[in-house]
Structure formats: structure tokens, C-alpha cells
Amino acid sequence: MTRFEGRTALITAAGSGLGRGVALRLAREGARVKIWDRDEAALDKAVTEAKSEGLSITSQAIDMTDGNAIEAAVAALVAEMGQVDVLVNNIGGSLHTPFRFLDQSDEDWRQVIDVNVSACVRTTRAVLPQMVATGYGRIINMGSKAGRFGSLFAGANYVASKGAMQAFTLQIAQEFGPNGITCNTLCPGAILTPRVKGLLEERQSAQERQQVLETIPVRRHGAVQDVAAAIAYLASEEAGFVNGASLDINGGQSMVI
Ligand SMILES: NC(=O)c1ccc[n+]([C@@H]2O[C@H](COP(=O)([O-])OP(=O)(O)OC[C@H]3O[C@@H](n4cnc5c(N)ncnc54)[C@H](O)[C@@H]3O)[C@@H](O)[C@H]2O)c1
């Protein structure tokens, strides 16, 4: 498939986990992809894997808690690629902060909001002027089932920050739709990356994990490919009439009319 031939994409925090899977998927469909991460070893591994498949993925090491570094990295990206057609604001996570609200400190809230909200806001702000100039863009924010329905293993700081990203999506969709730019949120349930598998094993007993599985109509957790396929659709030209949406990708574990 060559849906992204001639298109460029920036995927944040994509040295490993879901971002890496999304980067490989878009590159396999023809995109020139830039991946950011603070973990240089992970970036090297991802780029080497891409090269072995003949894919166009390059990387930039960056700590996304640094706003100035984000602005500089976007400027370098635009200078290198000439345009950014697709932005996947993938960075985020609960950072292993406590699950229970009363155990969470101000610092736990600051850190989680910093990566889930501030880093994405800053990246979006730096990329948008260039998308406006070309009259085309696809922005996908990584939300979570947690932001829509609450979480069984991540705390209130994470849930609130993902909800904030959904609200942010609505306003970007509204403000920049006239410029040919769409903005949507993807809301995955638990996707079994090695990190999430470890978190579930740490925070739930084997019996609790089995009970959770029985609440998922398709009787399995999500895989990285499930997320990559959904993002590839939202990032494609043919999704141009999908704007301001929150797409649940949770096997039917939580459903709304
Ligand atoms: N995995 C899931 O089950 C799941 C479910 C719902 C939503 N999400 C969301 O999807 C996104 C990706 O999740 P994941 O599980 O793949 O993440 P992950 O924890 O595996 O992290 C992916 C990458 O982020 C990088 N990173 C962390 N802090 C950084 C920083 N300050 N600067 C630059 N890079 C940094 C890490 O080095 C890592 O390579 C997150 O926004 C997460 O909240 C994940």
C-alpha cells in the first residue's frame, strides 16, 4: 500500500511501544517518517530495523519535557523535510505514579501533565504554522480509554490529562478545519506492550487480570498493530471528513451510543 507516498510524518516518543509500531506502519505505506524519543538506544534500534526493511525512518533524540528543544526540533524537521503532513502526538503515560488519588502528590500531577498535555500542546503549536502554510494536515492525539471511562490501573492524574487531550482535540479541529487540517483522538484500552504487561502484572492479581479479560467482548487485549492500523486511517487523506472525533479502540470493553 502507498497511501502515504509523498507524505511526511512526525511521531513523538516512538523509539519503542505504540509509537514505534505506528512509525513502521506509516513508513511501510510510503511515508517519510521522523521519530523522536529521549532514549537514543531505542531510536537506533528502531531506525536499524526500518533500514533493514528499506523504510524511510530517521530519528531525533529529544527530551520532550524541554519546550525549547521541541521548537528547535520542529524547525530542524521542517528544514530537512520541507513539510510535516502528519503529526502523531504519541508521547504520554502515567509514569508509574501512584494509582490512588490520595497518594498522588503535586509533583506526580506536574510530571504527568507535562508529558501527556504540555509536550503535545508545544509540538502542535510548533508544527501547525507549517501545516497552515501548505493547507493540509492530519493531527492524531493519543488519548486513552482511561480519559473517557476512567482506569483500573492508572491514576486520576493520567485520566485527567488524557481527558484534557480530547478537549484540546475539539478546539484544534474547530479552529484549523478551514485550513485543511483535521485533528482526532485515538482512545486505546490496554495494549499489551512489554511495559503495560509489566504494569498489569504489578497492579492486578492473575485472577483480576482474567476477570478484566472477560469484560472485553473480543476476549483479548489490544496489540500494537490494532493501534497502528487505526492511526494510519486517521492520518490518511481519505479520513478528511473525520474531524474532532474520539475513536475508541478497546475491543468493546467500554461502549457508548
Ligand atoms: N500501551 C497502552 O496500553 C496504552 C493505552 C492507552 C493509551 N496509551 C498511550 O499511548 C502512548 C504511547 O504509549 P506506550 O505504552 O507505547 O508508551 P511507552 O511508555 O512504552 O513509551 C514510549 C516511548 O516514550 C519515550 N519517552 C518517555 N518520556 C519521554 C520524554 N520526556 N521525551 C521523549 N521521549 C520520551 C520512551 O523513551 C519510550 O521509548 C502514550 O500517550 C500512552 O498514554 C497507551
Give 40-71 pLDDT, tens digit per residue.
Answer: 999 999 999 999 999 999 999 999 999 999 99
Distance from the alpha carbon of residue 178 to the mean position of ligand 1, in angstroms: 31
> Is 37 near ligand 1, meaning CB less than 6 Å away?
yes
86 lines ligand 1 (CB under 6 A): no
Q: Tell me which residue has its CA closest to atom 36 in ligand 1.
A: 13
Residue 26 Cβ inside 6 Å of ligand 1? The answer reads no
Digit-coded pLDDT (tens) for 182-212? 999 999 999 999 888 888 888 889 999 899 9
pLDDT reading at 173 higher than 90: yes
Q: Comparing C-alpha atoms, which of 227, 192, 226, 230 is closest to residue 209?
A: 192
Residue 11 vs residue 201, higher pLDDT = 11
Q: What is the mean pLDDT of residues 122-149?
A: 98
Could you report the per-residue pLDDT of 81-121, keeping only the tens digit for each?
999 999 999 999 999 999 999 999 999 999 999 999 999 99
Domain boundary assignment for the chain: 8-189+223-249
Q: What is the mean pLDDT of residues 177-184?
A: 98
Count other C-beta atoms under 10 Å from residue 204's C-beta: 15
**Ligand 1 pocket test, candidate residues 24, 193, 220, 249, most atoms within 8 A of CB:** 193
Element (H, E) at 247: strand 246-249
CA 93 – ligand 1 centroid, Å: 5
Q: Is 155 in the pocket of ligand 1 (CB under 6 A)?
A: no
Q: What is the pLDDT of residue 204?
A: 87
- For the domain made up of 8-189+223-249, the CATH class stated in words is alpha beta
Catalytic residues: 158
At 250, the pLDDT band (50, 70, 90 cuts) reads: very high
Helix (H) or strand (E) holding 60: strand 57-61
> Residue 255 forms beta bridges with which residues?
none
Whether residue 154 has pLDDT greater than 90: yes
CB-CB contact of 22 with 91 (8 Å): no
Residue 177's pLDDT is 98
